[in-house]
Structure 1
Amino acid sequence: MSTTDHTVPDQDPAVLLDAFYDRLAGALRDLPDPDTLLDWIRVRARRLAAAEQGRVPDGPARDDLRMTVALVAAYEALAPELGAEAAIAAVRDALAAAA
C-alpha cells in the first residue's frame, strides 16, 4: 500500500455515516438554522437512496449508496450557502474526520 492510499478503513457503515453527519453539523453551525439544514440533508439522502434501491444488488452496495447520497445531499445543501469550492471542502473534511 502506498503512502497516498486514501481508502476508508473498514468501519461499520452506519457508524461512519453517523460520524459524517456529526462532523458535518460542526461545519453548519455558522449557517442560518443549521439544525433544519442538517435535517434537510438527511431527508434528501434518504430520498435519493430510496429512488435507487431497486438497482442495489447487495448489502455492501447499499452501504456505498447510503454514503454516496449523503455526500451528494450535503453538497446540494451547502453549495448555495457556501459556494461550490467551500461546499466540496466542507463535505470532504467532514468525511475525512468521520473516518
Structure 2
Amino acid sequence: MKFFVFRVEGIDLAAGADRRGFFTTRRAFGTTKEWARQRLLKKLRKEFTMGNSSAFMRGNDFDLHVEDGWEIGLMEYWRSPSRGSTLYDEGDT
C-alpha cells in the first residue's frame, strides 16, 4: 500500500460567472496513485453533497480537479491533517 497527499480544487458549476468553490489538501492511500486519487475524489464528492460541507455547495453540481499529488511515507500519512477546506465565493464581493 502506498500513501499520498493531493491538492484539490472544487468548482461550483452552477455559479456561472461568479467563481465559487473550495481548495483542500487531503491524504489517501491505495495500490497506485491513480487508485488513491479516485478514492479521494469519491469521498470529497460525498462530503460536499451529503456531508458537513454540503451547505456551502448547496447541493449544486461541481467539478473536482486534482492540482497536484505526491507520495508520502506512512508516518507522514498519519501526522498530516486530512480535513478542512478553504472556501471561496467571488460573487459576494
TM-score surpassing 0.5? no
Query: Which is strand-richer, 1 or 2?
Result: 2
TM-score by length of 2: 0.32
Query: Which is helix-richer, 1 or 2?
Result: 1
| Larger RCO (CA under 8 A, 6+ residues apart) | 2
TM-score by length of 1: 0.30
